[in-house]
Structures are given as structure tokens and as C-alpha cells.
Amino acid sequence: MTGTTLHVATRDGLTFTEAMERAPDGFALLTTPWRYEIVTTADARRSTPEGVFEARVFNEHTELRWLNDADSGRTVLLTEDPTVLPAAFAKPDPLEATGTIKGGYLLWGKAVQASDGWTTLTTERIGSLRVPGEFGGGCHVALATCEYIARDPAHGNAYIAEERLLSFELSEPLRREKA
């Protein structure tokens, strides 16, 4: 583990459209009361899905988070590159991490169809979800993350201070070994 600085910028009062103007090119996880959708940042900028109350927009270098609060919201940008932070955003002290850990979240379902740079994952209980990337039939996909580890200055305890989304990648679920 090596030290890493995570820079943060925040701004209140931005609409979804205004927040998307500052979002990194990549992918957007959009939450509405009716569905959960994954789109490109360009698609999110072009057409705002009705009822979006939360968005996480990311690429391998930067993540933007937006949470709706009465038609405007709180916007937070996270990055290791301070030059991408908008000037109009507040910049609290950066997070001085003692290290980082790569991780991920296994997504429901298995790949059943890939075309045009996207793969459909499906499972009987949940339904289907399209994710970016072309993954072979039967494969599992994970949402890759980077966790930032910090130390409590008073007691020295290490903890995960922040997490940033990175990409979608091939994953194999862990298997239990027989005792």
C-alpha cells in the first residue's frame, strides 16, 4: 500500500442537467423510483430519464455523485487529479489515504447476449440488466471499485474512508471449498 490523495469538490443546488455538464465521460448509474439504469454519460446528458433522484457517473479516473433534493441536488466529485475539479465547486481538504484497495461488486445474473459494446446480464429472480462491455455467454460481471484507506489520527485505527467506482469487468464469483 502506498499513500494516495483523493481530491473532493462539492456543490449544492445543481439540477441533474447541470451536474451532467461537469460529469466525466464514462458511464452513469441512474436511480429512479421505477428502475435502475446504466447509460453512457453522453446519453445521460442528451436525455434525462424521468424521476432520477440519484446518479453516480464515473470513469477510471473520476466519479461524480448527484443526489436530488427538490429538483436540484448535491453534487460531489472525487478524483486523484485535482486539475479536473471545477473552479465553482467548494474544495474541502483532500483525503490523505494511507493506501488503496481494488475491489468490486458482483452484479446479478450471467451474460446472455453481447452486441454493440454492451452485454445483457439476466437472472430469473431479478430480470435483465445491460452493462457496458462485451462479455462471453455465462460470464459474471463486477462493478470495479477503489477503496481509500485512512487512519484515525487519535487512535491509529485504519478504516475505509471513501470508495470510488471505476469500471465494469469480468469476474468469477468465489466458490466455497469443501471442508
Dump pLDDT digits (tens) for 39-79.
999 999 998 778 899 999 999 999 999 999 877 899 999 99
- Location of C-alpha cell 494511507: 98
pLDDT above 50 for 1: no
Report how far residue 78's alpha carbon sits from residue 68's, in angstroms, rounded to the nearest whole number.
18
pLDDT above 70 for 2: no
pTM exceeding 0.85: yes
Going 40 to 44 to 50 to 56, the CA torsion angle's sign is positive
* Cα distances (Å, whole numbers) of residue 81 to 3, 16, 26, 145: 14, 23, 16, 17
- Using only the alpha carbons of the chain, give its radius of gyration: 18
- Location of C-alpha cell 488503496: 100
Report how far residue 16's alpha carbon sits from residue 97's, in angstroms, rounded to the nearest whole number.
30
What is the largest distance, in Å, between two alpha-carbon atoms of the chain? 57
pLDDT above 80 for 177: no
User: What would the pLDDT profile of 3-48 be if each residue is shown by its tens digit?
Assistant: 899 999 999 999 999 999 999 999 999 999 988 899 999 999 998 7
